[in-house]
Amino acid sequence: MDARMREGDADEAGTTLAERTYLQLREDIITVKLAPGTLLRESELMRRLDVGRTPVREALLRLQRDGFVDVNGRRGTSVSTIDISDLSAIYEARATIESWATRLAAERLREPERREARKLLEELAAFSDRPEPEPLLALDRRIHRFIYRAAKNPYLFDTLDHYHNLSLRILHVATRRFPELMSGLDKVLHEQTQMLEAVCRGDGETAERIALHHVLSFEEDVRRVI
């Protein structure tokens, strides 16, 4: 973390130190900076993040509830592992809920959000036919979160954001083990463009169908290489 964090501080968005500690550790787990199975020692995390014991413990408890961390009385606390059943269960849940949320986004979109969607479309159009993985994945993440917000249902947002974070970790793990998965990133550009265009014109049926295919196609790609 670039900026050092001090107990009791809050950043401009009003987040607490414990919240920022949680977010940083979650991001490191999602992006596999902390790989599955990594032992998480409180003292090491305190030094690494320059925080006290309390925010670290609070963050680890939240990460355990989220499914990112396992606690074993003998081994201690570690980053949870991933197996093929995780892939199936997470994408099965996302497929139904996320496609429905995308339909709601199309039906509930307001003009300020439509302008935001058009800016995202411009960013997608700026990518080349062979996009660099990290910038595209970052934009893909922003697009998903935009859709969740545009659905205007806080319960859907929280649920989908959690499942999407779990999916992202699987994506990062899978692409490191199987680099050939990155060759299909141009498909992401195409699907996200079609989905946002459908949302912008209020075509809920088409937006829902594209979102469903977008979620399921990655699971199919992973299964082909495993």
Instruction: Return the domain boundaries, the chain.
Output: 17-79, 84-225
- The CATH number corresponding to 84-225 among 1.20.120.530, 3.10.105.10, 1.10.3720.10, 1.10.8.60 equals 1.20.120.530
Query: Is the Cβ–Cβ distance between 24 and 1 less than 8 Å?
Result: yes
Q: Mind listing the pLDDT tens digit for each residue in 169-215?
A: 988 888 888 777 777 677 888 999 999 999 999 999 999 999 999 88
User: In 3-state terms, what secondary structure has residue 39?
Assistant: strand
Q: What is the three-class DSSP state of 77? A: strand
Q: What is the pLDDT of residues 54-96, one digit of tens each?
A: 999 999 999 999 999 999 878 899 999 987 778 888 888 999 9
- What fold characterizes domain 17-79? Arc Repressor Mutant, subunit A (1.10.10)
Q: Encode 29-63: b = buried (16+ Cβ within 10 Å), e = exposed.
A: bbebebebebebeeeebbeebebbeebbbbbbebb
The H-assigned helical ranges of the chain are 17-30, 42-49, 53-66, 84-108, 111-125, 133-150, 154-177, 185-200, 204-225
Per-residue CA distances from 53 to 32, 62, 80 (Å): 23, 14, 21
Q: How far apart are the first and last CA of the chain?
A: 34
